[in-house]
């Protein structure tokens, strides 16, 4: 497989065409942003750590029957993925109150929710990725009601696999964001990444944050936290 021209550069990744029309080449970057791009920085080694962490999660999810775009890890900071058309919704699943939920509804951070909840945010930088409900999604023509229910179901399914997997590794899965895409034949599959950039992970005992909140809130030891997450899920030192 050959890397061809760059198609897109996002906040955390670059996407390249390949000689196979059904496969993209992804390069993970060390750049970090938060608060819709207002806070910018670099986390040394983040590209490599997220690529490796996400590759492990997507491989495990595939083994558990959750279809996704991951094809193979190429190097420490590169992977191949199936081409999909990304649905412009961020599907957020929450087990414990934190971040915007704690702020919006007044929950104390760390409050375990009575049951997991799913939220949808419209992926639009200019609007600041607003929270949207079923009616908004319908108005915007993003997805059918049936597809929205399916995304919700898939979000909860991923949670049911990830939560015990992480609990065994002494990590609490607080919340996470997923993205989905449509394949050429119209099937909805899991895409994007699952990493400390897109999830909140807390050490189960000390409640220490092992995710991007360390960058967002200037808590320090950001790279160390990402490294610790890779270690917990069994990442080898070098691929
Ligand atoms: O900020 P908020 O509490 O809504 O974030 C919920 C979850 O979604 C967190 O795990 C966060 O890392 C993730 N997220 C993300 N990308 C965004 C917004 C949130 O990965 N643009």
pLDDT digits 0-9 by tens, 214-234 = 999 999 999 999 999 999 999
- Asked if the interface predicted TM-score (ipTM) of this complex is over 0.90, the answer is yes
pTM over 0.95: yes
Residue labelled with tokens 């420490």: 76
Closest residue to atom 7 of ligand 1, CA basis: 176
pLDDT over 90 percentage in the chain = 97
Q: Which residues contact 66 (CB under 8 A, 6 or more apart)?
A: 154, 157, 158, 161, 190
Nearest protein Cα to ligand 1, atom 8: 177
d(CA 71, CA 78): 11
Categorize the per-residue pLDDT at 235 as very low, low, confident or very high, splitting at 50, 70 and 90. confident
- Judged by phi (left if over 0) then psi (alpha if -120 to 50, else beta), residue 35 lies in left
Ligand 1 neighbour 159 (Cβ under 6 A): no
Give the separation between CA 31 and CA 143, rounded to whole angstroms.
31
User: Pseudo-torsion of CA 208, 211, 44, 16, nearest 10°?
Assistant: 170
* The pLDDT value given to residue 239: 43
Ligand 1 atom nearest the C-alpha of 123 is 21
Task: List domains and CATH numbers for the chain.
Answer: 3-82 (3.30.200.20), 85-221 (3.30.470.20)
CA 180 / ligand 1 centre spacing (Å): 15
Does residue 100's CB lie within 6 angstroms of at least one atom of ligand 1?
yes
Q: Is the pLDDT of residue 236 over 70?
A: no
**Candidate from 104, 174, 176, 177 with most ligand 1 atoms within 8 A of CB, to mutate:** 177
**Cβ of residue 99 lying under 6 Å from some atom of ligand 1:** yes
pLDDT (tens digit, 9 = 90+) per residue, 173-226?
999 999 999 999 999 999 999 999 999 999 999 999 999 999 999 999 999 999
Q: Is the CB of 109 under 6 A from ligand 1?
A: no
């Amino acid at each position: 497989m050959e890397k061809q021209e760059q198609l897109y550069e996002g906040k955390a990744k670059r996407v390249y065409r390949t000689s196979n029309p059904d496969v993209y080449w992804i390069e993970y970057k060390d750049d970090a942003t938060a608060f819709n791009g207002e806070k910018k920085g670099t986390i040394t080694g983040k590209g490599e750590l997220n690529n490796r962490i996400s590759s492990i999660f997507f491989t495990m999810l595939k083994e558990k029957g959750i279809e996704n775009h991951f094809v193979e890890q190429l190097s420490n900071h590169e992977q191949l993925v199936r081409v999909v058309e990304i649905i412009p919704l961020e599907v957020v699943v929450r087990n414990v109150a934190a971040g915007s939920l704690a702020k919006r509804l007044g929950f104390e951070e760390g409050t375990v929710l009575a049951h997991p909840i799913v939220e949808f945010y419209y992926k639009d930088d200019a609007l600041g990725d607003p929270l949207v409900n079923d009616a908004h999604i319908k108005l915007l023509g993003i997805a059918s009601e049936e597809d929205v229910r399916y995304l919700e179901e898939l979000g909860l399914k991923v949670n049911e696999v990830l939560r015990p997997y992480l609990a065994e590794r002494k990590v609490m899965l607080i919340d996470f964001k997923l993205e989905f895409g449509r394949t050429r034949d119209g099937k909805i599959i899991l895409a994007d990444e699952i990493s400390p950039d897109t999830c909140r992970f807390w050490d189960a005992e000390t409640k220490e944050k092992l995710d991007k909140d360390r960058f967002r809130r200037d808590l320090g030891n950001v790279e160390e936290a990402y490294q610790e997450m890779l270690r917990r899920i069994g990442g080898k030192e070098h691929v």
